[in-house]
Amino acid sequence: MASTHRYPHLILALLLACSGCGEQMVETVHPEPGDVGLDMTPLDVGTDDTDDTDVGPQGDAGGLDAELTPDAAEDVPSDTGSASGPIMIEAQVTWDAWELELRSAPATFALPAAEGILIQDAEGALSLLDDQGFEITLEGEFGAIELGADLGESGSLLAGESGLVGFVEGQLASSPLSEHIDQPVAAMAYGPDADQLWLSTGDGLLLHEDGALYDIAPEDLPTVPARLAHGGRVDGVPSLWVASQSSIYALTGAGGDLSVSAWVEGLAALDLACDADGTVWASVNGDLYRRSTDGEWDWLRLPSPVGELAGRAESGALWIATADGVWRHQDGQFGPVEGTVTGEWLELDTDGTLIGVDDERVWRMGVGEEPLPPPPPTWTEDIQPISEARCVLCHGPGALGADQMYLREQWEERIDEILFVVSNGAMPLPPNPVLDSAMIAQIEGWKAAGFPE
């Protein structure tokens, strides 16, 4: 039996050097059809719910073939083969979009993470935009980043030119997982419930869970190339959804004991997304396919052809790019979004807002109530702590050889001088470390707001 390389924990997997990786193998797992078996026959994705009862996912299990066989896959109902047509979707609501500028310069990559938004600019520099809108430059050069996954408390994982890069506790570092991965990572998904990290490469599908790395190879189902989305529920359990070639299927359970189910054949998905309801969405041939948590698939047609989707399991919102503008789905309602921002979609944030970029800036777009801009920095909350931590040692009440600079009025009076010396690194003097870019931005913001107490 193949041995499995074990990592103590996901956080460590992101950052710690890997000892003895070379000697060990990655375990290959062939997920079996789920024991329920209900979902195992390719589903009728047509919309006529009367004639597909015998193969419906929650239908009578008696007539179902519990094995995934190539024969089963021939039975594929498709838009051409299905007698019933798609459900025509009309607007039930009109969403009004608001936009917020997050950064007044463009970016090539953005990932909303627990600490803020990770950004890469055209020069390859990585930074973190915090909740207050301040940008902190991050150390390290990792080449172009293509994609990433927010692993919640554990941090974030980025993939790009130089392999996998972990972002943990404010630091970037190459991940030892890279040593096991020869091909670039093309898709990633994270399952918070079981702390599962899924990676799709040119070679196959990998799962990192509980310190082990598995190569996932379901019999007779393609894994390359794949689009991944996590959170669509199979019998109530949030699962990984794979869209590969013309198949869509789910993987449920734990690493060594995964089952494959909810297989549909004949849907070559351009994009795949899950939402907070556990619904799975696929963009196929300009139409939208929806799998509800009861296992029912619907074939939906919007007024204009559907392209890219943006959804995530933490959010009830689904953003839908169509040939004729942006649509959105939430709480069972579809509708166009008015006043959308142009540019490329980068990521959906947990609150259902979209982060995107154009030639000039990085934006956030949402619908509904517009968020209040973050309050400006104040002396008591933001500036005095910097002064106390970094300056009063020499500029405090008993300052010798340096001017007193520890009161709000003193800072206000000498603000330009202060900004000058902290920006060029002349102050503070050792032993105090220089101020990071977020602190300097806070001082600038405090000045711009008129020195609030």
Min. distance of Cβ 313 from ligand HEC in angstroms?
43
Min. distance of Cβ 113 from ligand HEC in angstroms?
28
Q: Which of 289, 410, 355, 439 is nearest to 119 (CA)?
A: 355
> Which residue, 91 or 402, has its beta carbon nearer to ligand HEC?
402
Q: State yes or no: cis peptide before 428, omega within 30 of 0.
A: yes
Min. distance of Cβ 403 from ligand HEC in angstroms?
6
- Both tokens of 122, joined, read 């055209």
- d(CA 240, CA 218) in angstroms, rounded, equals 13
Phi-psi category of residue 180: left, alpha or beta, with phi > 0 → left and psi -120 to 50 → alpha: alpha
Min. distance of Cβ 389 from ligand HEC in angstroms?
8
Min. distance of Cβ 385 from ligand HEC in angstroms?
11
Min. distance of Cβ 173 from ligand HEC in angstroms?
28
Q: State yes or no: cis peptide before 431, omega within 30 of 0.
A: yes
Min. distance of Cβ 400 from ligand HEC in angstroms?
9
Phi-psi category of residue 383: left, alpha or beta, with phi > 0 → left and psi -120 to 50 → alpha: alpha
> Which residue, 55 or 392, has its beta carbon nearer to ligand HEC?
392
Q: What size, in residues, is the chain?
A: 453
- d(CA 41, CA 249) in angstroms, rounded, equals 11
Catalog residues that contact ligand HEC under the rule CB under 6 A.
390-391, 393-395, 401-402, 405, 414, 417-418, 421-422, 427-429, 432, 435
Min. distance of Cβ 453 from ligand HEC in angstroms?
18
> Which residue, 144 or 402, has its beta carbon nearer to ligand HEC?
402
- d(CA 86, CA 300) in angstroms, rounded, equals 5
> Which residue, 125 or 420, has its beta carbon nearer to ligand HEC?
420
> Which residue, 20 or 431, has its beta carbon nearer to ligand HEC?
431
Torsion of the alpha carbons at 4, 9, 13 and 18, rounded to the nearest 10: -60
> Which residue, 174 or 432, has its beta carbon nearer to ligand HEC?
432
Phi-psi category of residue 71: left, alpha or beta, with phi > 0 → left and psi -120 to 50 → alpha: alpha
Q: Which of 21, 11, 5 is nearest to 195 (CA)?
A: 11
Q: Are 274 and 312 within 8 A, CB to CB? A: yes
> Which residue, 203 or 417, has its beta carbon nearer to ligand HEC?
417
Measured CA distances, 371 to 99, 103, 202, 367, 448 (Å): 9, 16, 41, 10, 21
> Which residue, 304 or 404, has its beta carbon nearer to ligand HEC?
404
> Which residue, 194 or 393, has its beta carbon nearer to ligand HEC?
393
Neighbours of 378 (CB within 10 A): 16
- Hey, what amino acid is at 347? E
Min. distance of Cβ 383 from ligand HEC in angstroms?
10
